[in-house]
Copies of this chain bind each other. A is one copy, B any other.
Amino acid sequence: MPIVAAAPSHSTEVLLSLFIMLTAAKLFAEIFERLRQPAVVGEILAGVIIGPSVLGWVTPSEILHILSEIGVVFLLFNVGLETKPSTILRVGKTAFSVAVLGIAIPLAAGWALLRSRGSTHIEALFVGTSLVATSVGITARVLSAMRVLEAPASRIILGAAVIDDILGLLVLAVVASFAAGSVNYMEIATTAGLALSFTAVAAFVGAPLLKRAASHFDRLRIGHAFFVCALILCLGLSVAAAYIGIAAIIGAFLAGMALAEATEGNHTLHKQTSGVTEFLVPFFLTYIGMQLKLDVFRDQSTLFLALLLTVVAVFTKMVGCGAGAWHLGLRQASQVGVGMVPRGEVGIVVAQLGLSLGIINDSLFGVILFMAVATTLIAPPLLKLLFAPQSELH
């Protein structure tokens, strides 16, 4: 870190790192937005450039790691806040079969690909898991910009993405606990059971309870009482999730989901949450980029695996999700299939977790990151093509 060599104190060094990370992230986000590419990819690229692989202005450290962890907790909390349990029930059978097929096929294909190339069982499972969860944020932004959010295919995509998120995080929970210890099927079943009950309690008990409790928050004397309670719930469920053996981010997501209906239309709370998210999430995204060792792609077999995994990622989601929506006809089925392609943040969260648990190495981390970024870049132009006639009719 040559730039901070003369730092007067440790906290000044950290402030400088945060300043560089935030500025670079937002500069690249702006450039990517102007190129009509996803801002999230720009923020990760900013991390690659300021990190040890290129400029070396900021290096990963314990403190930056923890700040990025807090960032991803809030990212998932925010995703949860936009996930109403009632929409899951409304979208029905089609969304459910889209989600389930869109999870099973990529998971199996990713696992098979890695096994065929000599990876261990657990590495292969982790890479498969990184193919599971759709990052619907990118798709939602494209559909909303085209004003086709109300089209039938769009509704199915958004509904399926919710189920997909929950199931994907459950798969992650099981795989991570599977990876953490010895292979104990009883324990995996317990974790899956705990994760399922945790989800069910958050969605079907927590949500209605919080909706009724919301009006009582006004009785508290402290300022911003509702927001403060939301923060406490977010941190509390994150810690609880970590202690029962599933990832902290799952707790944060469930806290958000449980609050989604209670906070609907509460603009102050959403703005306050967006303040925290806008501040902290760039540290997560740039930190991801900072961890990427570009060297790994010098090895041709790694680069080849990255390309292969991307093809598998795109193809299996299109086939899996398309099959789930097949009865709607080829056109809508392919709209749904393409809409579910981006892996983005969620795939990256899996890669990050795998790296920090020591399950996957730098090469596989690079491969997953490549796939997540590539699928995120591929989907928007395809979506525009497939939805274009509808958009013109609008």
Most buried by B among A10, A65, A236, A279: A279
Interface residue A14 (Cβ < 8 Å from any Cβ of B): yes
Residue of B14, B26, B232, B243 touching A66 (CB-CB under 8 A): B14
Q: Interface digits, A1-41 against B, CB 8 Å rule (1 contact, 0 not)?
A: 00000101111101110110011001001100110000100
Residue contact A23 to B242, C-beta cutoff 8 Å? no
The stretch that binds B, out of A222-230, A307-315, A326-334, A380-388, is A222-230
Task: Give the Cβ gap from A184 to chain B, nearest Cβ, in Å.
Answer: 16
CA distance A372 to B287 in the complex (A): 39
CA distance A248 to B14 in the complex (A): 12
CB contact under 8 A between A242 and B15, given known A222-B26, A222-B39: yes
In the complex, chain B residues whose CB is within 8 Å of the CB of A63: 62-63, 66
CB contact under 8 A between A12 and B248, given known A221-B34, A222-B29, A272-B271: yes
Task: Give the Cβ gap from A236 to chain B, nearest Cβ, in Å.
Answer: 5
CA distance A295 to B283 in the complex (A): 40
Taking Cβ atoms with an 8 Å cutoff, the residues of A that contact B are 6, 8-12, 14-16, 18-19, 22-23, 26, 29-30, 33-34, 39, 62-63, 65-66, 69-70, 73, 180, 220-224, 227-228, 231-232, 235-236, 238-239, 242-243, 245, 248, 268, 271-276, 278-279, 356
What 11 additional pairs, Cβ within 8 angstroms, besides A11-B248, A272-B274, A272-B278? A8-B245, A12-B239, A16-B239, A18-B235, A19-B238, A39-B223, A223-B278, A227-B275, A228-B278, A272-B275, A274-B275
Interchain residue pairs with CB less than 8 A apart (21):
A6-B243, A9-B242, A11-B69, A12-B239, A12-B248, A14-B69, A14-B70, A15-B235, A15-B248, A16-B239, A19-B239, A22-B228, A23-B236, A30-B222, A34-B221, A63-B66, A223-B278, A227-B275, A271-B275, A274-B275, A275-B276
